[in-house]
Structures are given as C-alpha cells and as structure tokens.
Amino acid sequence: MGTTSERPRATRTDDAVTALVSLWLIAGLLLDAWAHSNRPGLETFFTPWHAVFYSGFAATAGWVALLVWRQWRAGRRGLAAVPLGYGPTLLALVVFALSGVADMVWHTVFGIEESIDILFSPSHLGLAISMAVIVTTPVRSVWRDPAPGTLARLWPALLGTGLAIAEVMVFLEYGNALLLRATWIVTGFSETTNNSATQIAVRMLVTNAVLLLPLLFLARRWGLPPGAATLCTVPLLILSGAETGGTNWSTLFSMLIAAVGVDLLALALRPSADRPRAYWLFATLAPLFTWSLYLGVASAAVGRLPAIVELWTGAPVVAAAVGLALGALMLPGGPVLDPAAPRS
C-alpha cells in the first residue's frame, strides 16, 4: 500500500469522542480542585481524585493514539498520519505526562499545597497549559471549515471551549466571581474601608474576560449557534459549585440565566465577522446584561441593594466597556481572511 502525504480530517464522531474523553479529564481536575478546597490535610499524591484525573488523561491519550494508528494503517506516515488539529494535541499529551511525573516528584519533595500556592506550582502550570491545548482539540479540528456553525456540528468544539474556560478558571480561582456568595457581593459593595469592593470588581472583570473572549472568538469564525453560550458556561458553573459546596447557589443561578440570555441576544443580533456592528453590540450588551443580573440576583437573595450606588450601577457598565474593547480588538473592522483559503 502506498503512502499518502495529505493530512486527514477527523470526522464529527472523532471530535465528539475527543470532547467526551476530555470531559473525563476535566472532571478529574474538578474533583481534585474540590478535594483541595474541602479536604484540608491531604498528604499524598495518590488520591481517588488523582486517579480520576490521570485515568482521564490515559483515556484521552489512548483515543488520540488510536486516531493516529488508524491513519497509519491506511498508509499514511509521519505527520500525514495525524489528523488536522491534532498535532498540537500530541505535543500537549507529552508535556502533560512529563508534568504529571514532575508533580508527583514535587509533592514528594515539597508536600501537598493547600492554599493559593496550588495555582502557582510549576508542575501544576505545566498540566494547566497542556490541558488547555488538549481540550480545545475539537476547535482546531473544525477550524478549517468556516461555514456558519450549527449546534449539531459545533457542539464538540463548544464543549471543548467550555472545558477550557473551566480549566483556566481553576488556575485563576482568585479571580473567579462565581465563587462569591450573595451576601459577600452585597456586603462587599456596601463599604470601601477595606479591599472587599476592589476584590469583587476585579473578580468580575477577570471572569467577564474569560467568559466573553471565547464567545467572541467563536462568533468571529462561525457565528454563535443557539445554546453556545450556555454550553460554554455550564462547565464553569459546575466547577464553581464544586469548589464552594453549592453555598453560592444564587450566584450560579444568576450566571446560568445570564448564559441563556446571552444565547437569546446572540440569536437576535447574529454577531459574526460579516456583521461587525452586531458583533460589537453583542460584545457590549452581553457583559452589561450578565453582570447586571449577577448583582440583581445577589441583591434579591439578600433582600437589599448594596449601599454604594456607584458600585452596583457602574460595575456592569465597566464590564460592558471592557467587552466593547475586547470586541474591537477581536474584530477591528474590514474583511476577515479565511486561514484555510489558498494564498497567492
């Protein structure tokens, strides 16, 4: 059998399985994050949470190896046996494995982290970076198809994006506004004698950027099919609920309703690279609605508005202004070139 040099394309089913085994991997990460937040005194690397985490990695690595092996059997050799979009995944799997070994050695030598130092451990950062590449594999796989996306075609990419958002926010826990209870939000925006108001405002802006940028990225390439914002947000809701034991239920509820509202906004505006004004308007209104609802539900749950009017009225406007700036950076105007199109 002769060899072929043309890179194969993964099928929709292939990408769907990739997204699902990545879900296994991230589920292990969420369990580990829950354990570190709710089980103080962990003294060993060998825990049930790590078992789920690293078995998810093994399943993901095995699945990607199977895809390459299928192409090898078909006669392709070298890089030609690797489906488009899966090349960085192979490299990330190697980095993940090395970081996992480094993490075991790190814990053996320095012990188990129990505070914010978890988020800055070099071995953990190696795991984080490689995981982000792994879970976004379906996005790269479908990238060369610029046709307007449907939920049926894009759901593996959307799920991968949502898993990446949750994974990033694991390591930006100190900037996650979804971890805050309603009482903390209202009380924090009611006085400025300490840093509570500043911390809440910063958390809102960090979370705003992490949630909005992927949606703008997807909208620029394919548009946003119905349900895209919700599918991208749910993994972060699950993460935030796990880390707090569900004590922030009103905050999670507000963000779920906000995600549905953002989906309806996208349906009405149809933001895309070919509709820049609609794109910029979406980038502005989505955070304005999201963070107005966030503060409104917190106030309703507590039974009163924050005492400082400027904070609870101005914070959503600042988030909207940041959204507009991000939209302008992502789509400054003019035609967007198709990276899959031939170059002269």
Question: Tokens 């400025």 label which residue?
Answer: 192
pLDDT tens digits in sequence order for the chain, 344 residues long: 344 557 888 888 999 999 999 988 888 877 776 666 565 555 555 566 667 777 888 999 999 999 999 988 887 888 888 999 999 999 999 998 898 888 778 666 655 655 566 676 777 888 889 999 999 999 999 987 766 678 888 999 999 999 999 989 988 888 999 999 999 999 999 988 888 999 999 999 999 999 999 999 999 999 999 999 999 999 999 989 888 888 899 999 999 999 999 999 999 999 999 999 999 999 999 999 999 999 999 999 999 999 999 999 999 999 999 999 999 999 987 555 555 444 33
- What's the CA gap between 322 and 317, in Å, rounded? 9
pLDDT at 11: 87
The pTM of this model reads 0.85
* CA-based radius of gyration for the chain: 21
pLDDT at 342: 42
Domain boundaries, the chain: 1-144, 153-334
pLDDT at 323: 97
- What's the CA gap between 3 and 136, in Å, rounded? 29
Class of residue 87 by CB neighbours under 10 A (exposed 0-12, middle 13-18, buried 19+): middle
Q: Is 223 left (phi over 0), alpha (psi -120 to 50) or beta?
A: left
pLDDT at 3: 47
E-strand ranges in 69-163 read none
CA angle, residues 105, 106, 108, in degrees to nearest 5: 65
CB-based contacts of 32, cutoff 8 Å, min separation 6: 47, 49, 50, 52, 53
Q: For the stretch 49-68, what's the b/e string if a residue is b when 16 or more beta carbons lie within 10 angstroms of its beta carbon?
A: bbebbbebbebbbebbeebb
